[in-house]
Structure 1
Amino acid sequence: MDRTVVAALDGSPESRAAAEWAAREAKLRGLPLKIVHVWEPVPEPMAQAPMLGAETQAHWTERIPREAAEGLRLRHPGVEVTADQLSGRPAEVLPKAAEDAELLVLGSRGMSGFGGFLVGSVGQSVIAHTEVPVVLVRAGEQAADEHETDPAGIPSAGTAFRPVALGLDVDNPADAVVAFAFEEAARRHTTLRVVHAWNLPPYYVYGLSADAGFHDEVIREKTDELTEALRRWRKEYPSVEVVEVSRSGSAAQQLVDASRGASLVVVGRKIRRGRLGTHIGSVAHAVLHHATAPVAVVAHG
């Protein structure tokens, strides 16, 4: 099947922002964009109600994706855009619709009082059951938001992309996650900021109290681990500038902090084939709820 970028559309502002992001990503990748609108049939008694007649159903099942695709073609010349109409429960239909895609893009409402996302049960279920990378985009996300500020201090789509941020577990580095982050940085001709967070074990804490220089030794050890984990990737992507950040503390908080100056945040999610609900991992879950940039969740074995 042809490679493609898939964006879920339900007519909401957040899904329209996701479709715009997906169109920009499709252009970076040189791929077509498929807009998928999932219509969930209403119960029969409701379907007979005057306000839910054939005209209203046709509006949601035909007009929204058609008009969205037409608008995307105008705003993103050169990107092939198609629209697909599917019926069923979005949490079940979208993972299947994205099986052969390069990635799936979803919209999410911003959390009131926070900079991150409000990821509902449908979004969490789709992320947990989709094995291609899933990108979440907030309502109101603009192309300029992903770029550095211009001389006047205003973000502009005409300036360089902000860095891509990657959360990396050096003890279990997943190739799929690291490769995705390097590819995204390479497409954007920008820096890859790799965040490695760690916590001191109890015996290290004891060592710190006994030896003032022990902390510096631990930092050097952790920094060397990160450098070693990235060695082959630097060779594979020599054009990508890499900034290594190795600090003690919460991995989620450090990635949230990094998101404030990033064009994209990349986190991993271990594939769970059992019936374990919608678990997506504590770090990915926290980053999704508090990051201020689009977040890519990359599944790995």
Structure 2
Amino acid sequence: MSRIITVGLDGSRESLAAANWAARESLLRDLPCRLVHAWELQSYDYPTAYAPPTGPDLQRHWAERVPREAEEDLRRRYPGLRVSADQVDGQPVPVLLAAADDAELLVIGSRGLSGIGGFLVGSVALSVVAHATNPVVLVRAEEPDASGPRPAEPPYGKVVLGLDLRRPADALIEFAFDAAARRASALRVIQGWTPPAHYGLDTGFGYTSGAVTLGLGGELAAQEAGGLTDALRPWREKFPGVEVTEKSVIGGAAHHLVEAAAAAGLLVIGRRNRDSAIGTHLGPVAHAVMHHAAAPVAVVPHD
């Protein structure tokens, strides 16, 4: 793995927003930024920054133009950025997975759902997120216009981490703490937990009856909250400058994460590594967050 931030570029507003996010992240980490344009990545059924022409020769010229012009734009907008661009022949998923294998972070665009406030995560993005061996960040499109002089960058928002104490992966927690430390931002950690069925959990919708919050249910909630504090203690010590808040919630954490992401700069979730090449390898929380969170979403694979 190289110490580089890589962007999957297809000419859409979403991918250009991803490139801008990656450029800022590259400067934050003092790493070079690489733009990768897969020849077959674009489907052209959505608005692009450059209208694709017809004919194989013109298509090839357009495919080469997209990363070149994006690179020039980033150099203008982010002085001092070390940036390069490559146009790679091949199917988008294998091209991007290979790029992810060779990068510290892969950044790709994700289409917004107008009026719903969520992501439309296509098959390419889902496949890449589900099978990449390194972290992948999904970024929604910025509001136009991104072509003018670069405005003053807003301060970094807080980082939100979705954590499952059944699998408190070090790679996931460290990614979130490191991101918060680099941004000088607060970190909010949210974990969801499920009490035994006889405590009154409605497993179908994630809501609970009053029995959960009383008596032994209250004791279980205190134990879970204490477990979260214990799991984060060594990371607080490693990153003493990061202000951390904790929230332990009963049932699925997805809607709590989406709600927290509305005012966040980055939402971090995990994905378990699996040996099978079949399936998306993504759980319901990851799917919900990827489709509805307003903030960029970092998906960190872990054992």
Where on the TM-score scale, by shorter chain, does this alignment land: which range? 0.7 to 0.9
**Alpha-carbon distance in structure 1 between the residues aligned to 2:91 and 2:221:** 49
Distance 1:114 1:269, change over 3 A: same
Distance 1:33 1:141, change over 3 A: farther
Report the TM-score, using the length of structure 1 for normalisation: 0.87
Task: Compute the displacement of 1:211 (Å).
Answer: 9.6
Which amino acid in 1 is paired with 2:55? L
- Structure 1 gap ranges (5+): 43-49, 143-155
**Alpha-carbon distance in structure 2 between the residues aligned to 1:55 and 1:293:** 36
* 1:57 is aligned to 2:60: yes
Give CA deviations for 1:100-123 in whole Å, capped at 9, x if unaligned: 211000001101332121101111
Q: Identify the match of residue 96 of structure 1 among 93, 98, 111.
A: 98
Task: Compute the displacement of 1:212 (Å).
Answer: 4.2
**Alpha-carbon distance in structure 1 between the residues aligned to 2:213 and 2:264:** 37
**Alpha-carbon distance in structure 1 between the residues aligned to 2:19 and 2:121:** 17
**Secondary structure, aligned partner of 1:280:** coil
Task: Compute the displacement of 1:9 (Å).
Answer: 0.6
Distance 1:204 1:55, change over 3 A: closer
Which amino acid in 2 is paired with 1:166? L
Q: Identify the match of residue 81 of structure 2 among 79, 82, 92.
A: 79
**Alpha carbons 1:252, 1:283 under 8 Å: kept:** yes
**Alpha-carbon distance in structure 2 between the residues aligned to 1:209 and 1:249:** 14
Distance 1:123 1:277, change over 3 A: same
**Alpha-carbon distance in structure 1 between the residues aligned to 2:178 and 2:13:** 28
Structure-to-structure mapping, 1:257-296, within 5 angstroms: 257-296=259-298
Q: Which moved more, 1:204-213 or 1:9-18?
A: 204-213
Task: Compute the displacement of 1:55 (Å).
Answer: 2.7
% identity of equivalent residues: 53
Give CA deviations for 1:89-110 in whole Å, capped at 9, x if unaligned: 1011110122121100000110
Task: Compute the displacement of 1:129 (Å).
Answer: 1.5
**Secondary structure, aligned partner of 1:263:** strand
Which amino acid in 1 is paired with 2:184? H
Which residue does 2:194 correspond to in 1? 199
Give CA deviations for 1:190-214 in whole Å, capped at 9, x if unaligned: 1110001122212334997599443
Task: Compute the displacement of 1:216 (Å).
Answer: 3.1
Which residue does 1:123 correspond to in 2? 125
Identify the structure with the greater helix proportion.
Answer: 1
Distance 1:228 1:210, change over 3 A: closer
Give CA deviations for 1:134-174 in whole Å, capped at 9, x if unaligned: 000001269xxxxxxxxxxxxx735x422100001112101
Which residue does 1:161 correspond to in 2? 156
Which amino acid in 1 is paired with 2:170? D
**Secondary structure, aligned partner of 2:101:** coil
**Alpha-carbon distance in structure 1 between the residues aligned to 2:198 and 2:59:** 66
Distance 1:64 1:216, change over 3 A: same
**Alpha carbons 1:17, 1:141 under 8 Å: kept:** no
Report the TM-score, using the length of structure 2 for normalisation: 0.86
Which amino acid in 1 is paired with 2:7? A
Distance 1:80 1:249, change over 3 A: same
- Structure 2 gap ranges (5+): 43-52, 145-151, 202-208
How many correspondences in the alignment?
279
* 1:184 is aligned to 2:143: no
Which residue does 1:172 correspond to in 2? 167
**Alpha-carbon distance in structure 2 between the residues aligned to 1:101 and 1:163:** 24
* 1:219 is aligned to 2:221: yes
**Alpha carbons 1:165, 1:259 under 8 Å: kept:** yes
Over the aligned positions, Cα root-mean-square deviation in angstroms equals 2.3
Which residue does 2:206 correspond to in 1? none
Give CA deviations for 1:234-254 in whole Å, capped at 9, x if unaligned: 111111111001121321111
**Alpha-carbon distance in structure 1 between the residues aligned to 2:34 and 2:213:** 59
**Alpha carbons 2:271, 2:281 under 8 Å: kept:** no
**Alpha carbons 1:41, 1:87 under 8 Å: kept:** no
**Alpha carbons 1:91, 1:126 under 8 Å: kept:** yes
**Alpha-carbon distance in structure 1 between the residues aligned to 2:123 and 2:74:** 28
